[in-house]
Amino acid sequence: MTKLSVNINKIALIRNARGSNNPDILRIARDCERFGAQGITVHPRPDQRHIRDKDVMDLKEIVTTELNVEGYPDERFINLINKVKPHQVTLVPDPPDALTSNSGWDTLKEKSFLIDVVGQLKSYGCRVSIFLNAEPYLVENAAATGCDRIELYTEPYAANYENSKDEYIKLYIETAIAAEKFGLGLNAGHDLNLDNLQYFKTHVPHLLEVSIGHALVCDALYYGLENTIGMYLRKLKD
């Protein structure tokens, strides 16, 4: 079964809007695990607008499944990872002021940079994943960085799911096959939801983990957190 990692950034955004500790991020993380999630994902940005660095350190102490920390590998982020040593680090090429992730790494252009960063993060004992567009030609250079996994950027698939899913899924399948060929594990995330998740899981081979936040939190407003996590898990069953 493909694992579900719940991204709790949007929960932190709600908390920060009032300046208190409601909702409690640590309680939410514990409950997500209790309701069946197999991981917790966070993306601490430099402006601390949702998940804060202290949240990441606190989460490492209580997450019992897998803590996945996403971010651009600048000095601040690397220092945080060295302190926290999460189970998995997902490298994204976002500039500091980005609203959300909108593209994967150019592993040809950034190969040397990524080799250095991946080596440093792996020396901390972390599994390292690289955020990647669904382009098979990028996979060989991703593997050359020494990373353990790639995470497929799924927004193009999600945006075209209603009208062109059969066409758009092809590159994801080809990229997944390339990842298997080069010995890389496969994750995916961005705009996956209850409508498009099962089709993606069914067609893309070797999928180990999906990271879902925005859609899951929105669904939880209607269905409740426990029920929503159960609904997503059912979409991921083999």
- Active site positions, annotated: 43, 70, 190
How many residues are there in the chain? 238
C-alpha dihedral, 211 to 214 to 217 to 220, nearest 10°: -100
List, as one string, the DSSP characters of the chain.
--EEEEE-HHHHHHHHHHTS--S-HHHHHHHHHHTT-SEEEE---TT-SSS-HHHHHHHHHH-SS-EEEEE--SHHHHHHHHHH--SEEEE----TT-SS------TTTTHHHHHHHHHHHHTTT-EEEEEE-S-GGGHHHHHHTT-SEEEEE-HHHHHTHHHHHHHHHHHHHHHHHHHHHTT-EEEEESS--TTTHHHHHHHSTTEEEEEE-HHHHHHHHHH-HHHHHHHHHHHT--
**81: which residues sit within 8 A by CB, 6+ positions away?**
69, 89, 121, 124, 126
Give the separation between CA 158 and CA 153, rounded to whole angstroms: 10
